[in-house]
Amino acid sequence: MAKMVYAEKMCAMAAVGVLAALVGSTGVAQDRPMQDARRVRPVKQAQLLELAPLPELVLLPEPVPLPLQVRLAADQAPPPQQAEPPQQAPVLELTPPPRQDRPLRAAWLSELAPVSEWTPPPEQAPLRQKAQLREQTLIPEQAQPVIAIFESTDFPPANPSISIKDHPAVGAYFGKAIQVCAAGVAPSACAGGQQAGVLFMNPVLTGDGLLIADDSLTLLGAPYGPHACAHGSWVPTSATEFTAEYTFITSTFPPATGTISGLRARWVAQVLDANTLVGWVNAYFLSSSPVTWTPLAADQFPAFPPEAAGFVTAPNGFVKDPSTCMTAGCPQVFKFTLKRITR
């Protein structure tokens, strides 16, 4: 009995030893591969990074749809809108009633059609006939401006042998003009009961015989201003002397609707030195001219109004002493001194 118990104890102890040996070898075996794996993993990862090619195309996630593209659920979808029926455009009446057609058509033609191509409606035909009859029956002598006729030799003729471009008067000037009153007439009633005039002048005499001038009366009121710029011409009468003619437009005084007036002036002047001009001015105030519209056919041009003949017709003679001409139509007399505008 004692031997059998001892043998069982020995067998049990042997079994425990074998089991302990097996457990120890398994732990050692498992610990070694983990340590080797820790050593090898960094090397393998480095080799993989060097050998693995980078992807050429990187796919991005699909874009998020816009709010208008998001499909709503059936219970959240708005109710469908019913399409409105298209509105019909109003039909324009191409033919207006007779009461509206006449003034609208006349206004449209007067703004868009050239004057020479405009054909008046039949109801205006009598107006054209009356205008033509008036032009035919108007006596030109009665429409001429009142200009005094007197004998005078103070206006010298042009000298064609003198070169205009080489004349010493060519240039731009600025100066002063003062009205000359008749003997025994006070300056407060120098001419026509008006105060004697004084003004600054700013004329230009070109080398091809043109004269362009302005003066300080342009900035003043009636009866001498305001007025437009003066345009005219000049001619030499000697190596140092010259005469000039020019006109400008003024308002009618006293004011009259639908009319314009003007002034015709002429000079007798001389070159005093290289930079100075002196001379006289005769100023004729012209009668008013109507500014009216008349119908024209395709082959017609406006008739020159006889009332405006004074703009293009030279007066007679020249006045230096207003005491020698004191009747209706005599000019106002001025004396001036001009200085050349130098550089």
Ordered by where they begin, the domains of the chain are: 141-289+301-340 (2.40.128)
Query: In this predicted model, what pLDDT tens digit does every residue of 34-82 receive, in sequence order?
Result: 555 455 555 555 555 555 555 555 555 555 554 444 455 555 555 666 6
The answer to whether the beta carbons of residues 212 and 247 sit under 8 Å apart is no
- In this prediction, residue 191 has a pLDDT band, given cuts at 50, 70 and 90, of confident
Looking at every residue in the chain, the average pLDDT score rounds to: 74
- What was the pLDDT predicted at 255? 87
Averaged pLDDT, 156-162: 94
* Rg value, the chain, Cα: 56
291-304: average pLDDT:
94
pLDDT of residue 128: 44
- What local confidence, expressed as pLDDT, does residue 316 receive? 86
Q: Which of 29-33, 190-194, 202-206 bottoms out in mean pLDDT, i.e. has the lowest?
A: 29-33
The model's pLDDT over 3-43, given as tens digits with 9 standing for 90+, comes to 555 556 666 666 666 566 555 555 555 555 555 545 555 55
Q: Report the candidate in 322, 330, 338, 324 with the shortest Cα–Cα distance to residue 242.
A: 338
**What's the start-to-end Cα distance of the chain, in Å?**
157
Q: Has residue 102 got a pLDDT over 70?
A: no
- Provide the pLDDT for residue 84: 62
Burial of 176 per CB tally in 10 Å (0-12, 13-18, 19+): middle
**pLDDT score of 41:** 55
pLDDT, tens digit, 9 for 90 and up, residues 211-237: 999 999 989 887 778 899 999 999 999
Residue 204, pLDDT > 50, answer yes
Position 158 scores a pLDDT of 94
Per-residue pLDDT at 302 exceeds 90: yes
CB of 167 closer than 8 Å to CB of 242 = yes
pLDDT at 305: 92
The percent of residues in the chain predicted with pLDDT above 90, rounded, is 44
Q: Exposed, middle or buried, 330 (CB in 10 Å: 0-12/13-18/19+)?
A: buried
Residues belonging to the chain? 343
Residue 231: predicted pLDDT: 97
Higher-confidence residue of 289 and 137: namely: 289
Q: Does residue 138 have a pLDDT over 90? A: no
Give the model's confidence band at 115: pLDDT under 50 very low, under 70 low, under 90 confident, else very high: very low
pLDDT score, position 336: 98
